[in-house]
Amino acid sequence: MASSSPPLDDAQAQRIKQAVGWLHTARFLTTAAQLHHLPAYEQPEIAFVGRSNSGKSTCINVLTQQRQLAYASKTPGRTQHINLFALGRQNQTDAVLADLPGYGYAAVPKADKVRWQRVMANYLMTRDNLKGVVLLCDPRLGLTELDEILLEVIRPKVEAGLKFLMLLTKADKLNRSEAQKALSIAKLQSGGGQAHLFSSLKKQGVEEVSMELYRWTHPAPSPESTPAPTTVV
Ligand SMILES: Nc1nc2c(ncn2[C@@H]2O[C@H](COP(=O)(O)OP(=O)(O)O)[C@@H](O)[C@H]2O)c(=O)[nH]1
Ligand SMILES: [Mg+2]
């Protein structure tokens, strides 16, 4: 029996399923307190960054459908390590997620904040396999000074091809007009990147973000490199 291509909606549902299933394969890879302890990988890496309490751990847990993967600490500012998670089938890691320490927690001493800035800037500038950055931001607070510093560091890299996505977290706390306003502002601020509303509580944005991360790390082959389809008569 000749197989016909599925209707568009089925194809889209298939792509969502693939991306969501892919994120579900996430498993702990390693943790590093310092940059030079981070192992080098060839696989593309996606970094999650954001201030403490922006909802980063919860977001990673929801995206990967694993309750305890990124420990959603009730005590902000506690996780000072870079944690890496592998994605892809067992023994076939095809991408890495990096959970970077949250920043900006008021109770953290100034010296630690300065140290954080250095670690983050160094990571963003030197990580060879860094493919994309997801910046999480609570839209009720807007971008903080440290978010702005981070954006400054990555802007030239985004212009040079680094993927970038701003996630407006806890979107369930905004009404429709607040959400739309926050989204327009974020789109301007992301300068060439993208912005999405996201709610871990309501699972809002999960499919879109999953698809986006999947596309970043699994680019479609260019038409020249795909062999011409064979005609079945
Ligand atoms: N209403 C709401 N609360 C959230 C959401 N995501 C996270 N939170 C809460 O925000 C707080 C900080 O979340 P967490 O993931 O630990 O933030 P992190 O410090 O950035 O890793 C916790 O109390 C979470 O329960 C969300 O989508 N909606
Ligand atoms: Mg956290």
* pLDDT attached to residue 95: 98
What's the whole-number average pLDDT of the chain? 88
Q: How far is the CA of 10 from the centre of ligand 1 (A)?
A: 33
* pLDDT attached to residue 162: 95
Confidence of residue 227 (pLDDT cuts 50, 70, 90): low
Cβ count within 10 A of residue 42: 9
Name 11's Cβ contacts closer than 8 Å, sequence gap at least 6.
5
Average pLDDT over residues 191-220: 94
- Residue-range definition of the domain harbouring residue 28: 18-216
* pLDDT attached to residue 79: 62
Asked whether residue 225 is domain-assigned, the answer is no
With a cut of 60, say whether residue 231 has pLDDT above it. no
User: Which atom number of ligand 1 is nearest to the Cα of residue 54?
Assistant: 20
Q: How far is the CA of 6 from the centre of ligand 1 (A)?
A: 39
Q: Please choose, from the candidates 100, 96, 90, the residue with its C-alpha nearest in 3D space to the C-alpha of residue 41.
A: 96
From CA 217, how far away is CA 208, in angstroms rounded? 15
Q: How far is the CA of 77 from the centre of ligand 2 (A)?
A: 8
pLDDT more than 70, % of the chain: 90
The CATH code of the domain that includes 210 is: 3.40.50.300
Number of structural domains the chain divides into: 1
Asked whether residue 48 is domain-assigned, the answer is yes
Asked whether residue 229 is domain-assigned, the answer is no
Residues flanking ion ligand 2, Cβ below 5 Å: 57
Confidence of residue 127 (pLDDT cuts 50, 70, 90): very high
User: Which atom number of ligand 1 is nearest to the Cα of residue 202?
Assistant: 27
Asked whether residue 11 is domain-assigned, the answer is no
Asked whether residue 10 is domain-assigned, the answer is no
Nearest 5°: CA angle at 24, between 22 and 25? 70
Confidence of residue 179 (pLDDT cuts 50, 70, 90): very high
Asked whether residue 189 is domain-assigned, the answer is yes
Asked whether residue 231 is domain-assigned, the answer is no
Confidence of residue 202 (pLDDT cuts 50, 70, 90): very high
The most confident of 89-93, 100-104, 210-214, by mean pLDDT: 210-214
Asked whether residue 34 is domain-assigned, the answer is yes
